[in-house]
Every structure is written in C-alpha cells, then in structure tokens.
Amino acid sequence: MKNWHLHIAALLAAVTLLCGLPSGAAQASQSDAAVLTVAIKPADGGDLQRHEFSMEELRNLPVAQFDTRTIWTSGEQAFTGVSLAALLAHVGVAEGQSGVVVARAINDYAVEIPVSDATNGGPMVAYERNGASMSVRDKGPLWIVYPYDSDPTYRTEAVYSRSIWQLEEITVGQ
C-alpha cells in the first residue's frame, strides 16, 4: 500500500470515464448544441419548417438590450438577447402577420403569445441578465421578457403570463 496515491488516481480516472464527464472537445461541441427550436406551421397545413439555434447563432442575430424591473427579480435588471420580432423575421415570419406563438419551456410549460406582440421595442428572447448568461436555475438559458417599465400595457397579468423562462421551443401558427 505504499503507492496508495496511484490507486486513488486510477480510481478517479475510472470513475471519470464511467460517469462520462465531457472532455474538452465535447465541451466545445456543447456550445454548438441547439438551445432553441423555432417551428413554423405553414398556413396550407404542410410540414413544419424547423429552425434550430445554438447560443452562438442566437448571439449572431441583431442584439436587443433594455433595462427593466420584473415581478420575479429584485431591482432593475439589464437584459440582452434577440428581439422576438427580429427572431421571427429571421425565420420568415412577416411583420404584421397574424397568428400565435406557442412558447414551451424545458418542463413542457407552454404559453401563447400573439404574433402581434413581436414589435420593435417589444419582447426579447433574453440570453443574458446583468451581463451574464443565465443558468437553468436562474430562469435560463433563455427567457422571454418584455420591457415592463417602458409601457403600462406591459405590466398586465396577460403579459406577465407570457414571460416564459427556461424557453426551448417556439412554434408559430395561425
């Protein structure tokens, strides 16, 4: 037992392999993993058009930022993300199009948001709060937030109910 440290090192290596802890290459590929799926239901009833976005791809879309208070946090918060309007335009949803966005969270909780809410200066799909990425535990990695302080119409029970966190899927339909 004089080489007990070698036995412990071997045991730790075996546990690491058995647990499947990601290697550096696997961690790098996780940044390419899809964090948001946007599906479009064609008006003619055809197949869903699916668009998958990694965090990097979301960050490459036009950046939206605003500061606002929320009913779930303390004090003013700085949000950064992509506006819902820019995201929908990117996947081919025309400005002024009627319909409903069904936003679904990782726990299968879902809300309906009128497509008409997706306006300039309206809600965003936030990927940062106060300059940092949001963990699942901290309502992330994606959270639909409205600029609640900018307009009293954003401070209603209906709008608060649309502010879904842990977002993973958006489906746009008629």
**What is the tens place of the pLDDT at every residue in 125-159?**
999 999 999 999 999 999 999 999 999 999 999 99
Q: Specify the pLDDT at position 10.
A: 46
Predicted local distance difference test score (pLDDT) of residue 45: 81
Domains recognised in the chain with CATH numbers: 31-173 (3.90.420.10)
Quickly state the pLDDT bin for 6 (edges 50, 70, 90): very low
Q: The pTM is what? A: 0.81
DSSP 45-102: ----EEEEEEHHHHHTSPPEEEEEE-SSSSSEEEEEEEEHHHHHHHTTPPTT---EEE
- The confidence score (pLDDT) of residue 30 equals 53
